[in-house]
């Protein structure tokens, strides 16, 4: 994001999901919009601090704090867009066996089921964050990652393929904190697998990418 860039919150038509209520989604969209607002706000503050062409030495600490928060808010904005973007009404629990994603998961993990078990186990980890399947742009391989908060654990340059929010705000209106596995099951019944496969990039090492 350049200092002149202003982001706009996107809208997602997701009402009527299975096991994730419209009430949860409405609250979650508001939280997402907060990340967009704060990303823009911090960007503006940085622009102001640097407007003379250099940073006033008395503002170094303040600048550092804003820059750190910027990573939190910016990743919070982007991850939510991937998350909402990989769900849809009447999604299907598992990827179709003929899909590019299924084949990629098989290639990278030995089987789709092993990929899924690994992804779900990642999502059940204690802590606040996200489960993510990323694709390595150099060879097309998929790997699963735990993202702490929003900004720790993302792999630079990798392509987000499937993103699952496991912060409690993603399900607290529908499930108790200890019932995160039920939310994960619900998430899986709403996945837009076409969107997921569509994120795969063609790479030299991957025969299965679309």
Instruction: Please check whether residue 160 is in contact with residue 128, taking contact to mean a CB–CB distance below 8 angstroms.
Output: no
- If binding means CB under 5 A, how many residues of this protein chain bind Fe ion? 2
Q: Which residue is nearest to Fe ion (CB)?
A: 165
**Shortest distance (Å) from residue 32 CB to Fe ion:** 7
Report the residue from 73, 136, 151, 165 that binds Fe ion according to the rule CB under 5 A. 165
**49, 121, 129 from 151: Cα distances, Å:** 23, 20, 9
In this structure, what token pair is assigned to residue 146? Answer: 């735990």
**Measured in Å, how far apart are the chain's first and last C-alpha atoms?**
29
Pairwise CA distance, residues 186 & 181, whole Å: 9
Half-sphere exposure (CA, 13 Å, Cβ side) for 173?
A: 12
Element (H, E) at 129: strand 129-135
Nearest approach, Cβ of residue 28 and Fe ion (Å) = 6
Side-chain half-sphere exposure of 86, counting CA atoms within 13 A = 26
Min dist. Cβ of residue 166 to Fe ion (A): 9
Binding piece for Fe ion, criterion CB under 5 A, among 36-44, 102-110, 130-138, 167-175: 167-175
Going residue by residue from 112 to 151, which x/- string records binding to Fe ion, judged by CB under 5 A? ----------------------------------------
32 vs 188 by CB, closer to Fe ion: 32
From the list 89-97, 99-107, 159-167, 182-190, the region that binds Fe ion by CB under 5 A is 159-167
Among candidates 84, 125, 124, 119, which has minimal Cα distance to 101? Answer: 119
| Of 93-101, 124-132, 162-170, 191-199: span binding Fe ion (CB under 5 A) | 162-170
Kindly indicate which of the ranges 65-73, 112-120, 129-137, 161-169 contains the residues binding Fe ion, using the contact rule CB under 5 A. 161-169
The residue (of 59 and 169) whose beta carbon lies closer to Fe ion is: 169
CA 133 – CA 146 distance, rounded (Å): 9
Q: Which is nearer to Fe ion, 147 or 200 (CB)?
A: 147
Element (H, E) at 186: helix 180-188
- Nearer residue to Fe ion within complex by CB, 27 or 50: 27
Residue with Cβ nearer Fe ion (19 or 137)? 19
Smaller CB separation from Fe ion, 102 or 119:
119
Contact 141, 148 (CB under 8 A): no
Kind and range of the H or E element at 123? helix 112-123
Binding site for Fe ion (CB under 5 A): 165, 167
């Amino acid at each position: 994001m350049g200092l002149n860039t202003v982001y706009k919150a996107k809208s997602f038509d997701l009402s009527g999901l299975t096991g994730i209520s419209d009430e949860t989604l409405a609250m979650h969209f508001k939280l997402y919009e907060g990340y967009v607002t704060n990303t823009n706000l911090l960007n503006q503050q940085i622009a102001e601090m640097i407007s003379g062409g250099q940073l006033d030495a008395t503002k170094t600490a303040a600048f550092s704090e804003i820059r750190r928060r910027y990573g939190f808010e910016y990743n919070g904005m982007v991850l939510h867009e991937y998350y909402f973007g990989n769900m849809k009404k009447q999604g299907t629990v598992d990827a179709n066996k003929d899909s590019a994603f299924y084949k990629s998961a098989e290639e990278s993990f030995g089987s789709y089921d092993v990929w899924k078990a690994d992804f779900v186990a990642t999502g059940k980890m204690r802590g606040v964050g996200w489960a993510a399947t990323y694709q390595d742009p150099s060879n097309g391989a998929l790997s699963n990652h735990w993202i702490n908060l929003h900004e720790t654990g993302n792999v630079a340059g990798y392509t987000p393929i499937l993103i699952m929010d496991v912060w409690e705000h993603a399900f607290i209106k529908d499930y108790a904190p200890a019932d995160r596995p039920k939310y994960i099951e619900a998430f899986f019944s709403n996945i837009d697998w076409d969107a997921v496969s569509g994120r795969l990039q063609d790479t030299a090492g991957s025969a299965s990418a679309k």
